[in-house]
Chain A
Amino acid sequence: MHPAPSIILFTTLSGLGYGLAAVLGLGLLDASTLSVKIAHLAAPVMIAGGLLSSTLHLGNPQRAWRALSQWRSSWLSREGVMAILTFVPLMISAWFSVIEGRYLPAAGLIGTAMCGITVFCTAMIYASLRSLQAWNTGFTPLCYLLFAAAGGFLLAAVAGYSSGTGGTVCAAIAALFVVAAWIAKHQWWTRLRTLVPLSTPESATGLGNIGHVRLFERPHINDNYLTREMGFKVARKHALKLSKIAVIAGGAVPVLLLVVAMLSGVGAVTIVASVLAVGFYALGLVVERWLFFAEARHAVMNYYGG
Chain B
Amino acid sequence: MTLLPSSPTPRKLGLVIDLDVCVGCHACVISCKEWNTGGYGAALSDQDPYGADVSGTFLNRIHTFEVLPEGGQVIGEAGEARIVHFPKSCLHCEDAPCVTVCPTGASYKRAEDGIVLVDESKCIGCGLCAWSCAYGAREMDLAAGVMKKCTLCVDRVYNETLKEVDRIPSCVRTCPANARHYGDLGDPGSDVSRMVAERGGYDLMPEQGTRPTNKYLPPRARKPLAASAGSAVLAENTDGAKGFFAWLDGMLDRI
Contact = CB atoms under 8 A, between A and B. Distances in A.
Q: Is there a contact between chains A and B in the complex with CB atoms less than 8 Å apart?
A: yes
Contacts of A130: 97, 132, 134, 208-209
Contact of B65 (A201, A222, A225, A230): A201
B61 interface: yes
A88 interface: no
Contact of B125 (A1, A58, A199, A229): A58
Contacts of B124: 58-61, 63-64, 66-67
Interface string B117-138: 0000011111110111111100
B63 A222 contact: no
Nearest to A131: B134
Contacts of B253: none
A70 B131 contact: no
B216 interface: yes
B72 A211 contact: yes
B139 to A, nearest CB: 5
A73 B3 contact: yes
A198 interface: yes
A303 B136 contact: yes
Given A129-B131, A129-B132, A225-B140, A219 B61 contact: yes
A299 B84 contact: no
B219 A131 contact: no
Interface in A111-131: 125, 128-131
B86 interface: yes
Contacts of A129: 97, 101, 131-132
B100 interface: yes
B13 interface: no
A58 B2 CA distance: 19
B239 to A, nearest CB: 43
A211 B68 contact: yes
A70 B136 CA distance: 23
Nearest to A222: B55
B192 to A, nearest CB: 17
A131 B67 contact: no
A220 B19 CA distance: 19
Interface residues of B, number: 71
B132 A131 contact: yes
Contact of A74 (B88, B102, B205, B218): B102
B103 A69 contact: yes
Nearest to B136: A300
A76 B101 contact: yes
A268 B9 CA distance: 67
Quick one: which of B100, B124, B136, B142 has the most chain A CB within 10 A?
B136
A216 B205 contact: no
Interface in A36-94: 57-61, 63-64, 66-70, 72-77, 80
A60 B123 contact: yes
A225 B147 CA distance: 11
Contact of A58 (B57, B70, B145): B145
Contact of A229 (B88, B101, B127): B127
For chain A, give the interface size range. Answer: 35 or more
Contact of B136 (A76, A223, A226): A226
A60 B127 CA distance: 11
Interface in B72-130: 72, 81-84, 86, 88, 97, 99-106, 122-128, 130
Contacts of B57: 225
A87 to B, nearest CB: 18
Contacts of B88: 219, 303
Nearest to A64: B124
Given A76-B103, A131-B97, A303-B63, A210 B219 contact: yes
Interface string A152-165: 00000000000000
Contact of A199 (B82, B123, B146, B207): B207
Contacts of A132: 131
Given A131-B133, A211-B72, A216-B83, A75 B101 contact: yes
27 contacts: A58-B124, A58-B145, A60-B124, A60-B146, A63-B122, A64-B124, A66-B106, A66-B124, A74-B101, A74-B102, A74-B103, A74-B128, A75-B101, A125-B101, A129-B131, A131-B132, A199-B205, A204-B134, A206-B218, A207-B84, A210-B219, A211-B81, A215-B65, A215-B66, A216-B65, A229-B131, A300-B135
Interface of A: 1, 57-61, 63-64, 66-70, 72-77, 80, 125, 128-132, 198-199, 201, 203-207, 209-220, 222-226, 229-230, 298-300, 302-304
Given A211-B81, A213-B66, 13 more contacts: A57-B126, A59-B140, A60-B146, A66-B105, A67-B126, A69-B104, A130-B209, A210-B67, A211-B72, A216-B66, A223-B53, A229-B130, A230-B130
